[in-house]
Structure 1
Amino acid sequence: MPRQPPTRLARAAALAGGLTLLLTVTACGGGADGAAEKGEPTPATVTAAAAAGVVAPAKVEVIAGLTGCTATIRIEAAELRQGVCHAEGADYLITTFPEERHKETWLDAAAIYGGRYLVGSRWVVSAEPEMLTRFQARLGGDVRRLGAGVGPSAAPSAS
């Protein structure tokens, strides 16, 4: 019986291992009543995402659900989607973006208003600072302070 070259044996072992892994992964996959196949988050994935501090990129509706509201969509455009949530004592905005560059452009424009925003991957939440801290625990992201450094100053100049 002729002896097989080592490279041929290694390739056969790798192929067998790869096929075994593929069968295991496809056999063990599944979703909660098909939601995973449709690209919809299941309660388990939403909870796991929040626990890991990773939600985005997400839909306005997913982020709203994690903050405890049902958002009313007020802007639906190619560059962003924005929903408003009504909470006891305050309203807040959730804005999502199809690309990171759109988010950065939006933040640059919002800087003229100043304030603090909770910023994640392709999403921004605009709310009162106390709410942002509470939401950060659920959503992740970073609280950013945007400066109102554009435009004339109210103070007289020293010239």
Structure 2
Amino acid sequence: MDLVRGVVGAVSVAALALVMGCGGGGSRAEPDAPEVSAAPDAGVMAPARVEVIARLTGCEASIRIEADELRQGVCHTARADYLITTFPEDRLKETWLDSASVYGGTYLVGMRWIVSARPELMDGFRLTLGGTVRTP
């Protein structure tokens, strides 16, 4: 639960930075060079929707943040609590990661989404969702 509190704090700061620096008027177009995150075992690319990513990881997410710049859901499972954050544009994801870097942590990063969880869960999530494990 301490991980979730720490990540929620990081997310709050990152969301505030996004709202202050990126509020409205921007294009919601796809990025020119999308990051491909094919899951090695599943042979699929996880969609950038909190609810679908949550189902793929075995939970039903409770949405905590619903904003133009990001959506975030929290998952509570027997294995762990973790956060799923999605973004309408890759540049917003990178801004969030830059803001979260002051808090440390390990993130599974895909095309317009991030899963924030304990490091020991990342390999299993990566096999299901694809993406890249990053420590900003």
TM-score bracket for the superposition, by shorter chain length: 0.5 to 0.7
Letter in 1 for 2:114: V
Moved over 4 A (4+): none
Q: Give structure 2 stretches of 5+ with no counterpart.
A: 1-38
User: Residue 55 in 1 paired to residue 36 in 2?
Assistant: no
Q: TM-score, normalised by structure 2?
A: 0.68
User: Residue 67 in 1 paired to residue 57 in 2?
Assistant: yes
Aligned position for 1:139: 129
Choose between structure 1 and 2 for higher RCO, CA contacts under 8 A separated by at least 6 residues. Answer: 2
Cα deviations by residue, 1:107-131 (Å, 9 ceiling, x for unpaired): 0000001111000000000000111
Letter in 1 for 2:109: V
Letter in 1 for 2:102: I
Aligned position for 2:70: 80
Q: Select the structure of larger CA radius of gyration.
A: 1
Letter in 2 for 1:54: M
Q: How does 1:84-103 map to 2 (within 5 A)?
A: 84-103=74-93
User: Residue 121 in 1 paired to residue 111 in 2?
Assistant: yes
Alpha-carbon separation, structure 2, partners of 1:112 and 1:125: 17
Aligned position for 2:29: none
Count matched residues: 98
Cα deviations by residue, 1:4-63 (Å, 9 ceiling, x for unpaired): xxxxxxxxxxxxxxxxxxxxxxxxxxxxxxxxxxxxxxxxxxxx9x7224113x210000
Aligned position for 2:120: 130
Q: How does 1:13-24 map to 2 (within 5 A)?
A: none
- How far apart are 1:97 and its partner, in Å? 0.1
Alpha-carbon separation, structure 2, partners of 1:138 and 1:72: 20
Alpha-carbon separation, structure 2, partners of 1:61 and 1:132: 18
Q: Cα RMSD between the aligned structures?
A: 1.8
Q: Give structure 1 stretches of 5+ with no counterpart.
A: 1-47, 147-159
Letter in 1 for 2:119: P
